[in-house]
């Protein structure tokens, strides 16, 4: 018998003694702390998600004006012979009056009273991209000239903002393009069904636009940029990382050199990402003369950054394979390599894949290194040219695009930045879910 149990009064089992009470209280306290910690975490998560969704979901809706436009032959094709070269000579300035007139006509037709007496006053309702949209359609199909065609035209950011509650009559007082009369007109046109909000595919598939046309900007091109970067990362970091880990874990002798390498890999994982960015600038762009802002450079930089993550997780999953499996293989007369590739690697695969996907997800969301190689700040307005163009043409990346939008002055871009974050989070979430599924699927017991 120990001394403490000798000291406890020999009372009933139903009555708790002082020590037990204290111990139970301590345990209860600890549980409360744990619950509080989890609750705080969840609370922050909920706040984060609500603020992202409430600020960003608007970007997936866009205001369009549906209006029949008379494509006047006298304005668009003066010679009347549908010569494509002649049609191309008419710039977007030639189309603007037609659209403005069309909206004005439609206002008159609906019998809407408005102090805006001239067709020119309709300009503020339209996106600057409207004329270009019409011109592209006409050049693609010159037969449209002379007909009245109904177009779905982007409304201006102000109109869009008004329908989404971002632009108000108070804020519009300081705006020199739009005034309260325009907003009254928008109300009427919306009631008449001419102006409508609908789902904005262009935000997901489209290209970035200039600073003055937030209504036109989309994530599509930068998504392609991110995709090509991830291709580079996957096809470089995975084989290099796995090969390095297998060698270090299974073949390398234990000496001070391998210790040194090990320590440095761990250090590398903790290096700030901007350092990798400046390394990429120095090595890949200034020394190797790879093109600036190109996804291949971004991919190479992110590969360097992802390698330590993949190596560390791969080594951990190789270590987790019980040594008895290696013994079993060696005992039968398998070579070291056979034992690794036939038995150890398949067992470590789920861990390796999970680590790789987590590494890729990290790389996908990384912005700082892209700053230094010119992918942040590049206005990604054009889709890359083919497969190799995807690697070599200048492009942006999803997080870089979000950063770019967040910097811009127009409040319409603020909404777009949040919307971009939603898209990025959807990607990250998907990758993490894939990682979990892979782990569940391939996990084997031994």
Partner 1 sequence: MNDMRLTRRDVDMNDIKISAKGVQVHYGDTHAIKDVNVDIRDKTVTAFIGPSGCGKSTFLRCLNRMNDTIDICRVTGEIALDGEDIYDKRVDPVQLRAKVGMVFQKPNPFPKSIYDNIAYGPRIHGLAKNKADLDDIVEKSLRRGAIWNEVKDRLHSPGTGLSGGQQQRLCIARAIATEPEVLLMDEPCSALDPIATLQVEELIDELRENFSVVIVTHSMQQAARVSQKTAFFHLGNLVEYGDTEQIFTNPKDERTESYITGRIG
44, containing H or E segment: helix 18-56
Which of residues 28 and 336 has its CB atom nearest to partner 1 in the complex?
Answer: 336
Give the shortest CB-335-to-partner 1 separation in angstroms: 5
Burial of 163: CB neighbours in 10 Å, binned 0-12, 13-18, 19+: buried
Measured over the CA atoms of residue 138, residue 143, residue 146 and residue 152, the dihedral's sign is: negative
What distance, in Å, lies between the first and last C-alpha atoms of the chain?
42
Backbone angles phi, psi at 289, to 5 degrees: 55, 40
Q: What is the 3-state secondary structure (H, E, C) of 332-354?
A: HCCCHHHHHHHHHHHHHHHHHHH
Q: Which is nearer to partner 1, 325 or 428 (CB)?
A: 325
Residue of 78, 44, 59 lying closest to 146 (CA atoms)? 78
Q: Do residues 306 and 363 lie in contact, with contact meaning Cβ atoms separated by under 8 Å?
A: yes
Distance of closest approach, residue 340 Cβ to partner 1, in angstroms: 12
Three-state DSSP class for 294? coil
- Which chain residues interact with partner 1 by CB under 8 A? 253-254, 322, 324-335, 338, 342-343, 347, 444-446
Long-range contacts (CB closer than 8 Å, 24 or more residues apart) made by 203-206: 203/59, 203/60, 203/62, 203/416, 203/419, 204/60, 204/423
Residue 250 or residue 415: which is nearer to partner 1 going by CB? Answer: 250
Which lies closer to partner 1 via its Cβ, residue 286 or residue 335? 335
The closest of 214, 222, 170, 226 to 58, measured between CA atoms, is: 214
């Amino acid at each position: 018998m120990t001394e403490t149990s000798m000291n406890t009064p020999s009372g009933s089992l139903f009555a708790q003694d002082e020590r037990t009470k204290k111990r139970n209280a301590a345990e209860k306290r600890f549980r409360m702390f744990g619950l509080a910690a989890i609750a705080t975490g969840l609370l922050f998560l909920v706040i984060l998600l609500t603020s992202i969704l409430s600020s960003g979901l608007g970007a997936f809706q866009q205001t369009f004006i549906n209006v029949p436009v008379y494509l006047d032959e006298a304005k668009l094709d003066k010679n009347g012979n549908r010569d494509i070269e002649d049609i191309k000579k008419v710039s977007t300035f030639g189309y603007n009056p037609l659209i403005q007139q069309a909206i004005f006509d439609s206002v008159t037709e609906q019998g809407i009273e408005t102090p805006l007496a001239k067709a020119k006053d309709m300009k503020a309702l339209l996106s600057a991209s409207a004329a270009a949209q019409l011109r592209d359609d006409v050049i693609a199909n010159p037969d449209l000239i002379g007909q009245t065609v109904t177009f779905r035209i982007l409304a201006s950011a102000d109109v869009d903002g008004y329908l989404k509650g971002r632009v108000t009559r108070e804020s519009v007082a300081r705006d020199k393009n739009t005034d309260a009369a325009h907003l009254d007109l928008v109300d009427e046109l919306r009631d008449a069904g001419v102006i409508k909000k609908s789902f904005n595919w262009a935000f997901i598939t489209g290209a970035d636009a200039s600073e003055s046309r937030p209504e036109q900007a989309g994530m599509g091109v930068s998504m392609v940029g991110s995709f090509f970067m991830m291709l580079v990362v996957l096809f470089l970091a995975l084989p290099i990382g796995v090969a390095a880990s297998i060698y270090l874990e299974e073949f390398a002798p234990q000496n001070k050199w391998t210790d040194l390498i090990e320590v440095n890999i761990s250090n590398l994982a903790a290096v700030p990402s901007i350092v990798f960015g400046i390394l990429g600038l120095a090595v890949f762009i200034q020394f190797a003369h790879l093109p600036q802002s190109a996804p291949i450079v971004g991919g190479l930089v992110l590969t360097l950054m992802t390698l330590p993550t993949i190596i560390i997780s791969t080594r951990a999953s190789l270590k987790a394979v019980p040594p008895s499996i290696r013994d079993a293989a060696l005992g039968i007369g398998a070579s070291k390599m056979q034992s690794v590739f036939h038995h150890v690697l398949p067992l470590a695969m789920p861990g390796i894949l999970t680590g790789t996907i987590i590494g890729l997800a990290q790389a996908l969301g990384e912005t700082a290194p892209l700053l230094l190689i010119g992918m942040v700040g590049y206005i990604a307005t054009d889709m890359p040219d083919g497969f190799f163009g995807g690697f070599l043409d200048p492009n942006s990346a999803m997080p870089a695009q979000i950063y770019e939008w967040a910097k811009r002055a127009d409040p319409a871009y603020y909404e777009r930045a949040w919307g971009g974050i939603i898209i990025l989070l959807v990607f990250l979430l998907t990758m993490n879910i894939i990682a979990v599924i892979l782990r569940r699927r391939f996990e084997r017991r031994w």
